[in-house]
Amino acid sequence: MQVLLLLSSIVVFSTTVTSEDKSENFPTKLYSQLFEIVGENLLKINETKGMNIELKQMDFFLYNSHNRGREMKLNPLNPFQLSTSKGKIFFLVHGWHDARRYSLWYNELTNKLLRKYNTASVIQVDWEIGSFQSIGSSVDSTESLGSNLATMINIMVSNHNVSIENIVLFGHSLGAQACGWTGKYLSRTTNQKLKRIIAFDPYGVLFSERPDSRRLNRNDAEVVHVIHTDGDYIGFLHPCGTIDFYPNGGQSQPGCSKIDLKNPLKLLMDFVWCDHIRSFDYFVEAVEDKNTFLAHQCYNKKALDQRNCHGSTVGLGDLETTREGIFYLETNSEPPYHKPSE
């Protein structure tokens, strides 16, 4: 009850803030809807029929070493610009109530990946039309989103000489669950398997009760690399990849409990989103050096819960790892998040 009263107060305060005071990184209507995810979680929301997203309703923007800073819009049915690509192709897929123009991690990760891989291409996926439904409807729409991505990838491989070995999918929240559907549809329709999916705190509400066949799982790609930061609230808590990282235990992240009453909008956003978005914050920092953010392997989930993990290490940002298992690490409460091993 105290939490609800606090949130109600924040919402009241937020209505007095002018649009000029609000962060330019988020759409104005998001502020009035942030409370929805808290309320719906508390009320155990139900999945509802969502829109069947069509490929033509999605946008795809290409970045590479030749056009850094100025994107190139792709036709998903004829992405001929990729025919000469010999390097890795990274897809970035945002989550609920997000869009390419608002996403906190798209540009940061794009720049890091292009610096790390000179011949790489990054495709920023925009499914804004489906992400701004109610959460129950957006959950339902992830299947059509994933199916569309599989269609585009199949066209790239079949018609444009792209190797499926070079394709890597990054997804946050519902975007991570959509990447799982992409892997499923590719396997069903082409008998080919994605090389790697990297899932930033895959969405857990509604998915936690689903069978593996209807949510992200370890069989959706050769490597399913999962980073859990808000498990059992917004994110999916249980291991669901070939390798599962649990920074600070995977539920509450240091620094996310700070209260700034001078900025009620930030307080509301932090209360709802802070732990959830730390997943990509950590990775964006870690991808620069695979020898940072070293995580120790845990014998099992019980060992993780007891913070009794002393096995061999792997970097959270290691894009080449084929290691499997559950891994634990600790981070700092603010950037730089990397906490050197003692």
DSSP state of 21: G
Q: Is the pLDDT of residue 211 over 80?
A: yes
| pLDDT tens column, 26-67 | 444 444 444 445 444 434 567 778 889 999 999 999 999 888
- Let me know if residue 137 belongs to a domain: yes
pLDDT, greater one: 262 or 207 = 207
Give this prediction's pTM: 0.86
Predicted confidence at residue 10, as pLDDT, reads: 39
Could you tell me what percent of the chain has a pLDDT over 70?
82
For residue 77, which amino acid is it? L
Q: What is the mean pLDDT of residues 162-182?
A: 98
In angstroms, rounded to a whole number, what is the distance separating the alpha carbons of residues 150 and 174?
Answer: 16
H-run or E-run covering 307: none
Predicted confidence at residue 16, as pLDDT, reads: 32
Domain membership of residue 68 as a residue range: 2-329
Domain total in the chain? 1
Lowest mean pLDDT of 4-8, 110-114, 240-244, 256-260, name the range: 4-8
Predicted confidence at residue 65, as pLDDT, reads: 87
Helices within the chain (DSSP H only): 2-14, 28-42, 106-116, 128-131, 135-159, 174-190, 264-286, 301-305
**pLDDT range class, residue 213, cuts 50, 70, 90:** very high
Q: How many other C-beta atoms can be found within 10 angstroms of the C-beta atom of residue 115? A: 13
Predicted confidence at residue 212, as pLDDT, reads: 94
Q: What is the mean pLDDT of residues 176-203?
A: 97
Predicted confidence at residue 22, as pLDDT, reads: 37
Predicted confidence at residue 59, as pLDDT, reads: 96
Q: Is the pLDDT of residue 82 over 80?
A: yes
Lowest mean pLDDT of 11-20, 24-33, 96-105, name the range: 11-20
- Let me know if residue 338 belongs to a domain: no
Q: What is the mean pLDDT of residues 221-228?
A: 99
* Separation in Å, CA 263 to CA 11, 21, 37, 322: 12, 10, 20, 43
pLDDT, greater one: 103 or 324 = 324
- Let me know if residue 342 belongs to a domain: no
Predicted confidence at residue 266, as pLDDT, reads: 58
In angstroms, rounded to a whole number, what is the distance separating the alpha carbons of residues 241 and 231?
Answer: 14
> Does residue 257 sit in helix, strand or coil?
coil
Predicted confidence at residue 264, as pLDDT, reads: 57
Residue 215's Cβ-side half-sphere holds a number of Cα atoms within 13 Å equal to 21
User: With the C-alpha atoms ordered 90, 105, 11, 1, is the resulting torsion angle positive or negative?
Assistant: positive
Token duo for residue 296: 């120790």
Predicted confidence at residue 205, as pLDDT, reads: 87
- Let me know if residue 341 belongs to a domain: no
pLDDT, greater one: 1 or 238 = 238
* Ranges 64-73, 80-89, 310-319, most confident: 310-319
Closest CA to 282 of 243, 316, 242, 246: 316
Token duo for residue 269: 């956003």
Q: In what order do the strands lie in the sheet with 167-172?
A: 72-73, 59-64, 121-126, 89-93, 167-172, 194-200, 221-227, 243-247, 325-329, 294-298, 313-315
Q: What is the mean pLDDT of residues 81-105?
A: 91
| Contact in structure between 185 and 150 (CB atoms under 8 Å) | yes
**pLDDT range class, residue 332, cuts 50, 70, 90:** very high
- Let me know if residue 232 belongs to a domain: yes
- Let me know if residue 246 belongs to a domain: yes
Closest CA to 217 of 246, 197, 192: 197
| pLDDT tens column, 105-163 | 999 999 999 999 999 999 999 999 999 998 889 999 999 999 999 999 999 999 999 99
Q: Which residues contact 265 (CB under 8 A, 6 or more apart)?
A: 10, 14, 17, 21, 22, 23, 31
In angstroms, rounded to a whole number, what is the distance separating the alpha carbons of residues 66 and 294?
Answer: 33
To which residue do tokens 């924040």 refer?
A: 10
pLDDT, greater one: 332 or 266 = 332
In angstroms, rounded to a whole number, what is the distance separating the alpha carbons of residues 169 and 122?
Answer: 10
Token duo for residue 143: 């299947």
Mean pLDDT of the chain: 86
| pLDDT tens column, 251-304 | 999 999 755 555 655 556 666 789 999 999 999 999 999 999 999 999 999 999
Predicted confidence at residue 49, as pLDDT, reads: 84
CATH of the domain at 244: 3.40.50.1820
- Let me know if residue 103 belongs to a domain: yes
